[in-house]
Each structure stands twice: as C-alpha cells, then as structure tokens.
Amino acid sequence: MSNSVPVPGRRTSVSASDPPNFIPIPTNTRGLPISSYGAQSPPATSHMASLGTSPRAAYSTSPSTSSHLRAGSGSLTSAFQGMARQLTAFLPKTYPLEEEPEKRQGTTKVLLLENINLDAAEFLKNQGFEVDHVTKAWSEEELIAKLPNYHAIGIRSKTKITQKVIDANPQLLVIGCFCIGTNQVDLEHAARRGIAVFNSPYANSRSVAELVISEIIALSRQIVDRTQEMRAGIWNKISKNCWEIRGKTIGIVGYGHIGSQLSVLAESFGMQVVYYDVIPIMPLGTARQVDTLEELLGKADFVTLHVPEIQDTINMIGEAQFAQMKSGAFFINNARGKVVDLNALASALESKHLAGAAVDVFPKEPGSNGPGFNETLGEFIPRLRNVSNLILTPHIGGSTEEAQRAIGSEVSNAVYRYLTFGCSLGSVNFPEVDLRSITIKDDRHIRVCHVHRNEPGVLKQINNILADHNIEKQFTDSKGDIAYLMADISGVGQEEVEGIYSAIKNTRANILTRLLCELPFDNILLQ
C-alpha cells in the first residue's frame, strides 16, 4: 500500500485495486459558469467520496459567509480545499473540477486484525478500499499509535477498542467485529463519537453447537485422558465412569441461536433437553423451559452456557452454583470467560464433585498464538491444567472455515455498506437507517449522513439548510442519546458543497457529518 506506515504481520497480497470504468453522468445541468469550476480531473480509485467531520475536525470555514447554500462562483477557501478535493476526487471525469489530478486524495483505508478471513479482505479490496491484513491482535498502545492511519477497523475478540482508543482516533468511522460478541468495544462511547459497530451474531452458531456436542461425547467417554495416556505410552482400557449420552439430560443456559440449535442436535442423540432463559421462549422439539437456574442445575447431567457477557451474567456460575449441580455432572462454557468463576470450577473438579468440564473462553486470553497460557492470565490456570477429564481449548468455538467465511462475508458487507452508502442496518450501537440506491439517472446527487445528539429541533434545522434543494428521500431514527439522519438531495453543484457541509457540521447537536456522492459502475451499486 502506498503512502502508508509499515504494518507488522501484514499480508502484502492484500492491497487496493483500480475500480472498473465509470459511466458518465450529465454535467453542469444548472447552467453555472464554467469559470466557477476550472479544469477537469479524472476519477480516483474509489467510487464514493466521504467527507468526515467530528467535534475535533480540523476543517474550518469563514463565519462571514452569508449563505450556506449559494457560495457563489468564486474559488473555495484554502481551509476547505483539502476536504473539497476529497469529495470531488470521486466525481466522474466529465464533472468539471478545479483541482489538479495529481492532488487527488480520499482513499479509504481499512485495517483487519486477528487473522480475519482473507475473503473479507479481498472483498473490501475489490470495492476500492486500501486494506491491511494483520494476523495478530493489537494492544491499546499499538491502536493509539497506528490506528489514526485508518478509517475502519475489523477485529475479533482479542482486540479491545476502549474509550481511550476511540478518543485517539477521531477519523474512525466504523468498527467491524468479526465474531458474535461486541463486549470488546466500548459501544456507548463509540456511538457518542459517531462510530457504528457491526458484528455477526448468528453466523457461527452451528460451529459452536457442534463443538458442544463433541465435548459432551468426549467428556462422557474420558477421551482426552485416554489420549494423553496413549501419548505417554500407557494402555488403559477401562469402562468405569464412561457413559453413553443417550437418555442423559442436557441443561442449556441461554436459549438463543446457539442454544436452540444445540437443543435440536442433542435431541437427535437421544438426550433430554431442559433450558433456562430470562424470557419465555418457544421450545424446539421436546425441550422444556425451567423457571430457575437452580432447577436446571439440579436436573442436568451436562450444563452448558450460551449467554452474553453483561453485568447480570458476570460470575453467574460460581461456588454456590457448582454445589447445586449433580455429583458426577459435567460443565461446559463456550460463551464468555467472565461468566464463570474458574477458581470455583477448579475446586469442583479437584474435589471430584464434577466428573469433567470443557472450557473454551477465559477472562483474559493471550493476544497471539504461541506460549502464554499460564498463571499470568489467572491463578486458576495451573490448577485447571492439572485436573483430569478437562478439555481446554483456545477460544475456537466459532473457528471453522464455514463460520469464518460466513462471518467475513456478513461483517465486511456491513462495513462496506456503511462506508459507501451510509447504511447502518445491523449496527449494534447505532440507529438502523438506510435509503434505497442512487441510480445513474440521479443527476449530481449528494447523500447527507448526519449523526447527531438526539435533541429536539435537529430535523427542522437540517431541512432548513437543505430547503433550496430537492430532497429526493430522507430517513431518520434514534437510539438512546444518538440519532442518525440520511437524506439524498439532487442537482448539487460543486460550488454549493462547502456551504451545505459547513452548515450541517456546525449545527449544535452535530456529532459526525459525511457527504457521499455516487459514482455509478456498469451496474447499479446498491441493488
């Protein structure tokens, strides 16, 4: 990637590519003087321009400008020229411009960490973005130092996007969590800074459910212990305390997408299914919902957790809950590391109250593959490593080729749609807003994407600013303290962009304002 800092671990095969030929659209339909535009410039390497502003953006405009809509035919102010180039760099070559071709700028840069599926990287690259693919997680210090080079970031579960990281990156527009959970991101603070966060809540459900089934069978037959003995040269053919899973009871805590899929799989093995959830949920098959967690713990031969990490679930399973489980039962956690007291689990296994367990997630996890799963992550780690019939796995619940391809496709598409079209459907921290596509028949369209505080009077202000233009379509929604407005206006000349942008940016409730202009491909970009 040109003009970028070296990135350790980056796969150099992933880089920006040139887009296809553009379809020209009519120019200067408003009959404005050619002198107000100047020389033409060819298009840049992306099909959509994005103007970004945050409360700390460096762009400024003259307060003496009397009209925010009709800026006149004079040249743009020097303070605005960088931002104006960023917009006009993506207009068709037939659109008259005043900037020199060699001064073009505006390429959107995307960082993908933690060895995210390469199909996702290739997809974003093929949309005209510059993509860096890194195999490991970055620390908070690395994110603060290096993330300012990027407008979007993709992460999995190890990279933590904290308030400090967000505040250090005012240029950041979107975070893609290529996993189920989003607890590694400060969602509220991201929303307050106008950063949309996307995830893939369902794509790896089957992979996790299948892992649980495999662990149930492995634990009931003590397969891990027998394998370790064989590797040590010990032949130990026994049947004591080895069981079939047919006829046994599985207790599922959290009957969402994973829990319900697991329910169906468990029944197909002849297991009885009980489940506990905080809300009433229609069972699948012959599964039965119980009223309390205590009831489930007392009935189940296998207890498996499938809950998010929220305040109500942290340490929801501890010494008291393990004591309520049957003697000789099994415990499985493939949910989140902080929902279980692992010291208490170690004690339950050491005392033989539990016959075995499987743990895939931990309160703290190493940032990269290799040595590091030791007492630095918690005093319980050496204890767990020494107990029998315990399956320890390195957070691989969703780590299958099928799941990672599905997650990569879903989240990369969400990131692409938000950066390119402003679509926030599927965002976990943001109002969900979308507009239908702009077609090649839409002359000089500008899409306004305005994130603002949810206060009275904002829509009136924005519509007053856009009053002299034809508002083709508009949609707004709010979520808590944050609101998001999208509006398409047509027939916008270059000489008007500065006024529109500056007026919206300087409204009282502004968090982030972007202006997007469409460049049509051979096909309509948004079907």
Q: Which residue has the higher pLDDT, 374 or 42?
A: 374
Q: Are residues 267 and 368 in the same domain?
A: yes
Instruction: Check residue 37 and give its pLDDT.
Output: 34
Q: Is the domain of 349 the same as that of 406?
A: no
> Would you state the structure tokens that stand for residue 23, as one six-digit string?
């379809």
Sort strands 174-177 and 196-198 into parallel, antiparallel or unpaired.
Answer: parallel
- Number of Cβ within a 10 Å radius of residue 282: 8
Tell me: pLDDT of 520 over 70: no
Residues 378 and 274 in one domain: yes
Coil, helix or strand at residue 409: helix
| The total number of structural domains that make up the chain | 3
Residue 179 maps to a domain: yes
Task: Centre a 10 Å sphere on the Cβ of residue 46 and count the other Cβ atoms it contains.
Answer: 22
Query: Do 511 and 406 share a structural domain?
Result: no
Q: Which residues pair with 305 in a beta bridge?
A: 253, 333
Does residue 522 have a pLDDT over 90? Answer: no
Binned at pLDDT 50, 70 and 90, residue 246 comes out as: very high
φ and ψ at 262, to 5 degrees? -60, -40
* 106 assigned to some structural domain: yes
Q: What is the per-residue pLDDT for 195? A: 97
In a domain, 68, yes or no: no
With beta carbons less than 8 A apart as the criterion, state whether 341 and 317 touch: yes
Query: What mean pLDDT comes out for the span 242-262?
Result: 97
* % residues pLDDT > 70 (the chain): 77
Active-site annotation holds for 445: no
- Split at pLDDT 50, 70, 90, the class of 203 is very high
Q: What is the distance between the alpha carbons of residues 136 and 113, in angstroms, rounded to a whole number?
A: 6
pLDDT at 313 over 90: yes
Dist CA 334 CA 306 (whole Å): 7
Residue 517, domain extent:
434-526
Q: Which of 336, 445, 450, 514 is catalytic?
A: 336
Do 260 and 348 sit in the same domain of this protein?
yes
Boundary residue ending a domain (413, 430, 447): 430
Please report, for residues 41, 206, 258, 272, the alpha-carbon distance to residue 209 in angstroms, rounded to integers and kept in the order given: 54, 5, 6, 16
Is residue 208 one of the residues assigned to a domain? no
Residue 83 has what pLDDT? 38
Based on the fold, state whether residues 415 and 469 are members of the same structural domain: no
Q: What is the pLDDT of residue 442?
A: 57
pLDDT band at 196 (very low <50, low <70, confident <90, very high): very high
84 part of a folded domain: no
C-alpha span between 441 and 463 (Å, rounded): 24
Burial of residue 288, with CB atoms counted within 10 A of its CB: 0-12 exposed, 13-18 middle, 19 or more buried: exposed
Based on the domain organization, do 367 and 292 belong to the same domain? yes
pLDDT recorded at residue 284? 96
Examine the domain organization and report whether 193 and 334 are in the same domain: no
Confidence of residue 494 (pLDDT cuts 50, 70, 90): confident
User: pLDDT (tens digit, 9 = 90+) per residue, 143-157?
Assistant: 999 999 999 999 998
State phi, psi for 383 to the nearest 5 degrees: -65, -45
Residue of 512, 417, 501 whose CA lies nearest to 82:
501
What pLDDT shows up at residue 518? Answer: 55
Q: Is the pLDDT of residue 98 over 80?
A: no
76 within domain boundaries: no
Q: Which residue has the higher pLDDT, 425 or 93?
A: 425
- As a whole number of angstroms, the distance between CA 483 and CA 192 comes to 10
Residue 23 has pLDDT above 90, yes or no: no
Residue 396: CB atoms within 10 Å: 13
Query: Does 61 have pLDDT greater than 80?
Result: no
- 499: domain CATH number? 3.30.70.260
The answer to whether residue 51 sits within a structural domain is no
Q: Check whether residue 408 and residue 479 sit in a common domain.
A: no
Task: With a cut of 70, say whether residue 172 has pLDDT above it.
Answer: yes
Q: What is the mean pLDDT of residues 369-398?
A: 95
| 383 has a pLDDT exceeding 90 | yes
pLDDT above 90 (res 69): no
Radius of gyration from C-alpha coordinates of the chain:
28
CB–CB of 418/424 below 8 Å?
yes
Question: Distance (Å, rounded) from C-alpha 121 to C-alpha 133?
Answer: 7
Closest CA to 262 of 220, 319, 303: 303
* Residues 6 or more apart whose Cβ sits within 8 Å of residue 372: 366
- Given 365, 405, 432, 472, which residue is catalytic? 365
Q: Residue 302 — φ and ψ, nearest 5°?
A: -130, 125
Confidence of residue 103 (pLDDT cuts 50, 70, 90): very low
- pLDDT of res. 437: 76
Q: Tell me which of 383, 410, 430 is where a domain ends.
A: 430
Active site residue 295: no
Query: Percent of the chain at pLDDT above 90?
Result: 69
Q: What is the pLDDT of residue 459?
A: 93
- Supply the pLDDT for residue 303: 98
Closest CA to 46 of 121, 148, 130, 151: 130
Q: Are residues 445 and 518 in the same domain?
A: yes
Give me the mean pLDDT over the 484-500 stretch.
87
Mean pLDDT over the full length of the chain: 82
Confidence band for 388, pLDDT divided at 50, 70 and 90: very high
Give me 165's structure tokens.
């990281």
- Between CA 113 and CA 134 the distance in angstroms is 5
Q: Cα separation of 501 and 448, whole Å? A: 9
The pLDDT value given to residue 325: 98
Task: Read off the pLDDT band of 107 (50, 70, 90).
Answer: confident
DSSP, res 375: G
* Stretch among 106-115, 136-145, 197-206, 226-235 having the lowest mean pLDDT: 106-115
Q: Is 176 helix (H, G, I), strand (E, B) or coil?
A: strand
Could you confirm whether 395 is annotated as catalytic? yes
- Residue 76 pLDDT: 36
Q: Is residue 331 part of a domain?
A: yes
Q: Identify any residues that bridge with 177 across adjacent strands, giving them in sequence order.
A: 155
Digit-coded pLDDT (tens) for 267-288: 999 999 999 999 999 999 999 9
Q: What's residue 43's pLDDT? A: 37
Average pLDDT over residues 219-235: 97
Terminal CA-CA length for the chain: 30
pTM, two decimal places: 0.73
Judge if 411 and 496 occupy the same domain. Answer: no
CATH code, 317: 3.40.50.720
Q: What strands, in cross-sheet order, belong to the sheet with 249-253?
A: 288-289, 272-276, 249-253, 302-305, 329-333, 354-359, 390-392
Give mean pLDDT, residues 251-273: 97
Among 156, 226, 306, 395, the active-site one is: 395
Residue whose C-alpha is closest to residue 95's, from 524, 522, 520: 520
Q: Are residues 186 and 263 in the same domain?
A: no
